[in-house]
Structure 1
């Protein structure tokens, strides 16, 4: 294995526990509230809020994709930690379940728009983004 200064240790955790861990990553790509961020070994320390999006972890020719539903990323000393409400590795995503969640969110969003219920509109927009993100990650 390469020395500790040329690789990243990556952990993704949720309230239910650790979802993902890798100790030999060369690049991690996340989407923060400020835009896309690529982190390589020896990057300056970072703390940022995450969007609902995928986290890509690259090591050599391997690329792992994890659907993350918001949260935070913290990086220092070549250790990157994502803390999220929920996260799923690409191979663990049930596409049929995600598609059903997308359809439910779309229907509920349309009803909320007809009723001009802004809270329900926002809630269902988030649910829709999460479902679409899971489908997107699963199909890569």
Structure 2
């Protein structure tokens, strides 16, 4: 008798709509308190997410992990459904690397200018933009 695959549904939505919706055996997300690993039959949980990568091991291609760049949001797991609501999210295959590299350079320049003006709020905003750009660049490298 074949062993049944324990799976759950992963969906990621942004204000622009559904970015990701697949069955999976494993989800790894970057929560503000550290990485979370989610498998089928996980206890209900709600966790705030940091800027980071979400990795999903799909049931239809067990040798491959999908990578998605997430820019904050929340993860909710309940009844074998893991839902991520994010400000923005991009699958590795959809990331425009050139655009992300330009965003990184622009953010680095803004940090230097804000530091010269001693504008802490602007430094913080530019640092968030830099983190988002670096995350997108790193996730794009996972594309196979």
TM-score band by shorter chain is over 0.9
Find out whether 1:82 has 2:84 as its counterpart: yes
Superimposed CA distance per residue, residues 82-139 of structure 1 (whole angstroms, 9 cap, x where no aligned partner) = 0001000000000000000000000001111111101101100000000000000001
> What is the aligned counterpart of 1:137 among 122, 128, 139?
139
> How far off its partner does 1:62 sit?
2.0
State how many pairs are aligned: 137
Give unpaired runs (5+ residues) of structure 1.
Answer: none
Matches within 5 A, 1:120-131: 120-131=122-133
Structural RMSD (CA): 1.3
Provide TM-score, normalisation by structure 1: 0.94
**Alignment of structure 1 residues 1-140 onto 2, 5 Å:** 6-23=6-23, 25-59=24-58, 60-140=62-142
- Large movers: runs of 4+ above 4 Å: none
Give the Cα–Cα distance (whole angstroms) in 1 for the partners of residues 97 and 30 of structure 2.
22
Q: Secondary structure of 2:42's partner?
A: coil
Q: CA deviation at 1:8?
A: 1.1
Partners of 2:67 and 2:133 lie apart in 1 by 15
TM-score, scaled relative to structure 2: 0.92
Structure 2: runs of 5+ lacking an equivalent: none
